[in-house]
C-alpha cells in the first residue's frame, strides 16, 4: 500500500515570502507524484506532476517541486508567493497499479 | 474547465432521504473517482470505477453506492441521509488509473 503525509496543515505567509510545503510518501517502488491546488470555492486542479526524468519539476503559476527519492519526498516550492496563492494544496502519490492517494492537504493563507 | 461535469451543483434535502449525484467524465477517460470533502475529514476517496467496473473502494459507507454506465457517466447514490453527510462531493476522471485526475466542480450536499 501507499500513504502520503503532509506535515504542514496550516501555513500563513506575507506576500513575497518564499514557500515550501512538505510531502512525504511511503511506497517502495516507482511512483508518480502530483501536487494539486484548490482555490477557495473551487475544485482541485493539477499544479504539477512527476513521472520520471528530471527530479525538479516546474508547474503552473511559478510553482516547482523536487523529487528526492532517498528521502521519499516531493516538496512544493515557490520563491515569492502572492495573495492569489491562498488555497488548499494537496500532494498525491500513485505507485505500481495503485490509484493516487491524497494527503490531508495544507491550507495556505497569504496576507497582502 | 476540466471537462468533467457534475450535476446538480447544490442539493438541499432532509435526513432520511435519498439523492443521486451525477458525473460525466472527460471525453476518452475510462476511470471515474468519487470523493467526499468536508471540513473535519478533508478529502476522502470513496470509490473508483474503470470502464464500468468497480476497481477500488475507499471510505464509502454502506448507505452509499455508485455505478458507471456504458456511456461512462457515473452516479453516486446516497441513502438514509444523515446530517453528517453534508459535504462537497467531487467526481474526477483520468485516462489511466495511476495518472493525474481531472476534477469536476463538485456537488454541495446539505442535509437538514
Q: What phi, psi does A105 have (nearest 5°)?
A: 100, 150
pLDDT tens-digit profile, chain A (112 residues): 788 999 889 999 999 999 999 999 998 888 999 999 999 989 999 999 999 999 999 999 999 999 999 999 999 999 999 999 999 999 999 887 777 889 999 999 999 9
* The pLDDT of residue A51: 92
pLDDT digits (tens, 9 = 90+) for B78-101: 999 999 999 999 999 998 877 889
3-state class of B95 per DSSP?
coil
pLDDT digits (tens, 9 = 90+) for B39-74: 877 888 999 999 999 999 988 999 999 999 999 999
Nearest to A102 among B2, B43, B97 (CB): B43
* The pLDDT of residue B91: 97
Helix-then-strand count for chain B, H and E: 0, 11
Q: Are A65 and A74 spatial neighbours (Cβ–Cβ below 8 Å)?
A: yes
Residues of A with CB under 8 A from a CB of B: 32, 34, 36, 42-46, 49, 90, 94-102, 104-105
Nearest to B38, CA basis, from B89, B83, B4: B89
Q: What phi, psi does B59 have (nearest 5°)?
A: -85, 55
- The CA-based angle B98-B47-A73, given to 5 degrees, is 40
Cβ B98–A46 below 8 Å, yes or no?
Answer: no
Q: Which residue of B has its CA nearest to A94?
A: B98
* The pLDDT of residue B87: 96
Nearest to B104 among A43, A96, A99 (CB): A43
Cβ A44–B31 below 8 Å, yes or no?
Answer: no
Cβ A94–B97 below 8 Å, yes or no?
Answer: yes
Q: Are B104 and B2 spatial neighbours (Cβ–Cβ below 8 Å)?
A: yes
β B10-13/B107-111 pair status: parallel
pLDDT digits (tens, 9 = 90+) for A52-73: 999 999 999 999 999 999 999 9
Amino acid at each position: 500500500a501507499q500513504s502520503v503525509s503532509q506535515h504542514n496543515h496550516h501555513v500563513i505567509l506575507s506576500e513575497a515570502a518564499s514557500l515550501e510545503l512538505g510531502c512525504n510518501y511511503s511506497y517502495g517502488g516507482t511512483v508518480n507524484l502530483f501536487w494539486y491546488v484548490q482555490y477557495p470555492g473551487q475544485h482541485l486542479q493539477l499544479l504539477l506532476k512527476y513521472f520520471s526524468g528530471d527530479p525538479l519539476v516546474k508547474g503552473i503559476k511559478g510553482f516547482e517541486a523536487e523529487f528526492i527519492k532517498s528521502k521519499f519526498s516531493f516538496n512544493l516550492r515557490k520563491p515569492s508567493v502572492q495573495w492569489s496563492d491562498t488555497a488548499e494544496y494537496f500532494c498525491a502519490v500513485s505507485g505500481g497499479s495503485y490509484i493516487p492517494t491524497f494527503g490531508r492537504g495544507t491550507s495556505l493563507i497569504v496576507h497582502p | 474547465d476540466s471537462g468533467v461535469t457534475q450535476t446538480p451543483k447544490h442539493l438541499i434535502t432532509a435526513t432520511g432521504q435519498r439523492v443521486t449525484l451525477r458525473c460525466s467524465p472527460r471525453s476518452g477517460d475510462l476511470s471515474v473517482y468519487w470523493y467526499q470533502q468536508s471540513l473535519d475529514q478533508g478529502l476522502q476517496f470513496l470509490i473508483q470505477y474503470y470502464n464500468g467496473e468497480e476497481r477500488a473502494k475507499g471510505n464509502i459507507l454502506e448507505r452509499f453506492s455508485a455505478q458507471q454506465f456504458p456511456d461512462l457517466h457515473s452516479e453516486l447514490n446516497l441513502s438514509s441521509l444523515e446530517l453528517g453527510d453534508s459535504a462537497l462531493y467531487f467526481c474526477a476522471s483520468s485516462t489511466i488509473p495511476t495518472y493525474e485526475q481531472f476534477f469536476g466542480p463538485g456537488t454541495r450536499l446539505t442535509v437538514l
